[in-house]
Amino acid sequence: MKELVIEAERENLPKVQAFIDEQLEAAGCPMPTQITIDVAAEEIFVNIASYAYSPETGPVTIQVAVQENPLTAKITFIDHGRPYNPLEKPDPDTTLTVRQRKKGGLGIYMVKQSMDRVNYEYQNGKNMLTIEKILR
């Protein structure tokens, strides 16, 4: 498992994505899958940077582990911000037009739809959101 600890600031997104991409490329992740993971990771990191410590900032730990059989990337985002489980938010009604829908929630919905597994835990004062994607 590789780990990056970085300040939860939007300006650090390129460093976060480069770190994740380095691990995915080393594992032989196909580019379409890497792009899917990058989009999900961006959504999660930007949400942490925007809301977890607001109006202050704090650290985010990103852990990337690659497991075999099947070859899977497991990425965990850990912050010490206020407790928040984004998976409890109801999925948006995608049958409605953009104007008819309530604001928010579409990003985490996209993460849930594009990943093979998404899990949230709050332990010892830490939010831990884990995404998993089979590398095919």
Q: Which of 63, 46, 64, 43 is nearest to 9 (CA)?
A: 46
pLDDT (tens digit, 9 = 90+) per residue, 72-97?
Answer: 999 999 999 999 999 988 776 676 66
Q: Round to whole Å and give the CA distance between 123 and 91.
A: 25
pLDDT-derived band at 105, boundaries 50, 70, 90: low
pLDDT (tens digit, 9 = 90+) per residue, 13-52?
Answer: 999 999 999 999 999 999 999 999 999 999 999 999 999 9
For the chain, domain boundaries:
2-134
Q: Is the CATH code 3.40.710.10 the one for domain 2-134? A: no
pLDDT-derived band at 103, boundaries 50, 70, 90: low
Which residues, 6+ apart, have CB-to-CB distance to 38 below 8 Å?
17, 20, 21
What is the pLDDT of the chain when averaged over all its residues?
A: 92
How many CB atoms within 10 Å of residue 15?
A: 15
Name the percent of the chain lying above pLDDT 70.
90
